[in-house]
Structure 1
Amino acid sequence: MRRSGRKIVNGKSSIVDAGGFTLVELLVVVGVLALLMGVLVPALGQARRAGRSLVSSGRQKQVVLAANLYSTDHDGAYPESVATALGLARTWRWQEPRKIKACQPRADGYRASMAAYLRHYLPNPATLVCPSSPRPYPYLEDLWRDGDAWDNPDTAFLDDSVAGSYCFFWNYVGHLTERERPFRGPQTSEGRPGCSTLLISDYFGFNHWRSPEAFGSCEQLPKAQVTTSTPEAVDYWFSRPAGEPDKACVQVTLRAGFVDGHVETYCPAETTVLEVAETLDGTKPAFSGAGLGAGQFFIPAGGTGSRR
């Protein structure tokens, strides 16, 4: 508050300013600060999102480069997908494309861990994680270092699988529900008829067993919650729609990397539905629903490959 006092000048008393400020001035300053905060806070949030977007694009480019370097050293062939699981009688089946380690290799000569294929080309495992993911996976470095031999100390199982925050599509087979045909990921860097050119994408899906009847993504969704932690997967964001689920209404920017090395952004309206395949050739989708299964994966519509 501004204070004043009296001073005798030439025998007369007068009021002089003793410094400080008035209540009106204080309210003006508070109002200006509130206005600045209203402008700066959203701008800082946008800057953080832009920064994470650049980091994510850079990480996806590094994964694409690693896969292409592997291809160069292996007569043009990409690594085998580790998104598999053994069933009865030692048969195997597909799992969700986020897998970076399977419980066991699907057959002799195959590896259970992505690290066994790509560690030499991708030494930093943090590259495999979307920077917008809500929580880091605590054993990522151990998993990447130990490869097939890694054992999760938080479980009693001898073999452990882990799902990451990106989807990996090289040598992966799924089912394109809306197009009623198989999805075949890239097999070679030179391309093959009927194969997609999509190597990696952000996870964006619906009705995963960890978040039933909800949209999920490694990118933060509006009004999102975080999945309950599990030893077998990286956590992600999920948001349940108020009415009928419509992916086109979800406000999120997604990224995907392709065989030619470029990474592009896309929105939910520009995606098509991929489901885990029940059959090895991708002609039939696996059961999903009622809190079971991996649900739907929304992938860039332009990266699905031809019918051939």
Structure 2
Amino acid sequence: MTEQEPVTLLGAVEVRRLAEVLDLQPTKTLGQNFVHDGNTVRRIVAAADLRSTDHVLEVGPGLGSLTLGLVDAAAAVTAVEIDPRLAALLPTTVRAHAPGRYQALNVITADALTITADRLALTDPDRMAPADPTALVANLPYNVAVPVILHLLAEVPTLRRALVMVQAEVADRLAADPGSKTYGVPSAKLAWYGRAHRAGSVSRTVFWPVPGVDSALVAFDRSPTARTGDRSAVFAVIDAAFAQRRKTLRAALADWAGSPAFAEQILTRAGIDPSARGEVLGIAEFTRIAQARELIDAAAHE
């Protein structure tokens, strides 16, 4: 960036003007609540801990409030937007507000839950950024936040870090530790990929329209070494364990195993107390349970 071409962030007036250009009425279905506070955007970008060489994946850029902060901080930004009207307007907005950085933006019109890694790779050899995304930054609707995060971490193994803004209650679930009241399927599955923690709260007043819930930031760092084992098998154990979280693992895993007796046999083989509950187990214990069943099944077929 040069001093003659600074990035100007969107304010409340500009956000509403852009919405009027599109004749856009924000919908709850798509979770369209747009940030209009520059200080909040700067705080989110700072919390994302981006490198100047990063290729950022942004999901749901909306009118571009956060996008402008990201193109100023990273080498490249790939924005995935499900609304065609918003996707079409975004390059124009970035060109107007970040004239020296608009070429850093790549926009894909798609549902993030269906996006594949090959669609995200940059093909321009002149871009000074990794071809594949290295960081995820997003303002996610609460109803799709967890599946989007898990899908992208599975689909894009080059993501080393993530910073997402979600409903405060969802943030608590994502960052929860084993044994806490909010620990469950989201936090257990996210732990397969790395470590998450709360990174601050966001006032509902910085959004237009003002949402009926509070928001929070969740930061995530991928583990430097990938876990071994069958992820789908481990996730099946997690789903079963929390489907009836008040029950002991022997009872909760009965359907998954085929019977309470076989569930107990698997748990014993894994070194897990059958009378324990799923909420006290970490990802390592869930992995051991899946592996124990695999070993028992393999021995039975020899």
What TM-score comes out, normalization by structure 2 length? Answer: 0.25
Q: Please state which structure has a larger fraction of its residues in strand.
A: 1
Q: Please state which structure has a larger fraction of its residues in helix.
A: 2
**Max Rg structure:** 1
**Higher RCO, 1 vs 2 (CA within 8 Å, ≥6 residues apart):** 1
